[in-house]
Structure formats: C-alpha cells, structure tokens
Amino acid sequence: MSEVAIHTMPSVFVMQTEMPESMVNDLNDYLDEYKEDQDKKSLADTLVGQIAQGEQLLMNNDDSRVKQYTEFVCNLGADYINTFCKNTGTQLKAAKSVQVDETWSVHSYEGDYNPIHDHGTKTLMGISTTGWTKVPQQILDQPTAGSPNYSLYESSGDCDGYIAFNYGINSLIDVDRLRPPQSFVMQPEVGKLLVFPSWLQHMVYPFKGDGERRTVASNLNCWDVNQGALNG
C-alpha cells in the first residue's frame, strides 16, 4: 500500500492555562466583599445568562486584585495571537495591543445556566477568557469528557456544569457520514482558565445540588498599536 498523509483542517484554537493559587484567592476575596457591596453593578440586563439563583456582576478593573488578573489575561491574549499566527502560517498586518474591555463574574447555583452565545468587543479582532474560582464538588466528581466512562446518554448528567464550545454544524460525531464533531465540552476546575476568540459560540450547562460555580470572565480588545496608544 502506498504511503498516505492526513491533512487536518484547523478551525479554532482554545488555549488553556492555570491561574496562580494566590490570584484565585485574591479574586475570591474581592468577589466575597463585592457581593455584599450595596453599590455593586449587576449585569443581569445585559448578559444572556439565565442566572436566577445567583448573579452576574461587573468587576472593577482598577482594584488591585482584579488588575493582576486583567494583566495576566492580556498577556495570554497576546500569546494567543502569536500562537494562532504560528499555527496557521500567517502574519498580522499590524502589531496588536491587547487591552481589557470588561471583566465580570458569574455566580451560578443549582439550575442556573448560560444559553449559547458569543461575545462582542470594540475591535474586529477580539479575545475572550473564562476561568473558575469556585466549582461544586459534584461537578468535579463527574468523568472527564473523552474518558471511557463519560457519556451524554441515559440521563448521565456527565456534562452538568460544563462549558460547551460549538464551531460548526455537527454537535456530535456522525460516523455514518464520516463527520467529526464540531463541538466539545470542558470540565470546570478551580484555577483553570480558557482563552478563545470572541466569536466562538459557547454555552454552560446547569447543574444539580449545592454549591456555587463561580466564573470570572473578560473581553479583550486587540487594537492596532497606533490605535492602542490613542485608546489606551
């Protein structure tokens, strides 16, 4: 048999990393205080999240505990752009300055969920991040997607509280037509942080039981360097 080569067609990249434990603790301290603040700003009217039991809050980027996070994700945003260009063999027309737009928290409890959506930024090229600072134990105890005991069938609940990304028309694998899945789910873990293009549609499944699923998210604008200086 002649040699064959397989050519994959990359469609999207999701970058995963870990927040330092000290950063997770600082963010939780900030949010524990902020939740009790009478002047906290709710985003319930501007975000699609169906958060009936919890709340969605705009965070203060000027607070030192939040600022360390925004600096961290802006650096990751620049890394994401470089990784994209390297993996696709492309070059930017102009150098980019990655700057945080908004940072917010989602405090989810039993039954809360986020329907499928994407994010908007002030620049055509936009990057979003999402990370977890609290995750209920029953979510952590579920099998990891792709493991032998993971299943979406028979009311398994194996995706409860998970985030799902969708980037095509096929949500599940279709072996009969040789179609790979164009979606994937990821289990939240305390400290895990994901970086992805803002256009990438995603959703969050509800979960059962006690505990708070706490998410910190942000949108990053990617200005041309000269624009960044003007808009900085």
pLDDT at 138: 93
What are the helix (H) ranges across the chain? 21-35, 64-88, 137-140, 225-231
Segments forming the whole domain that contains residue 203: 15-142+189-231
Q: What was the pLDDT predicted at 230?
A: 44
Please state the domain count of the chain: 1
pLDDT in tens, 36-79: 998 999 998 888 889 989 999 999 999 999 999 999 999 999 99
Answer whether residue 57 is part of any domain.
Answer: yes
Residue 191 and residue 24 in contact, taking contact as beta carbons nearer than 8 Å: yes
Residue 208 belongs to some domain of the structure: yes
Question: For a pLDDT cut of 90, what percent of the chain falls above it?
Answer: 64
- How many Å apart are CA 33 and CA 21, to the nearest integer? 19
Does some domain include residue 169? no
What is the rounded CA–CA span in Å between residue 120 and residue 7?
32
User: What CATH number should be reported for the domain holding residue 67?
Assistant: 2.60.120.620
Q: What is the dihedral of CA 22, 130, 67, 44, to 10 degrees?
A: -120
d(CA 74, CA 72): 6
CA distance 11 to 197: 11
First CA to last CA across the chain, in angstroms? 60
In a domain, 222, yes or no: yes
Q: Write out the two tokens for 103.
A: 């940072």
| 223 found inside a domain | yes
Q: How far apart are CA 92 and CA 110, in angstroms?
A: 44
Question: For residue 76, is it within any domain?
Answer: yes
Question: pLDDT tens, 125-144?
Answer: 999 999 999 999 999 988 77
Kindly report the average pLDDT of the chain as a whole number: 88
Does 193 fall in a domain?
yes
Q: Which two tokens stand for residue 122?
A: 């002030």
Model's pTM, two decimal places?
0.88
**Backbone φ/ψ region at 169: left (φ over 0), alpha (ψ -120 to 50), beta:** alpha
8: in domain: no
Integer Cα distance of 80 and 78 in angstroms: 5
- Whose structure tokens read 């067609």? 9
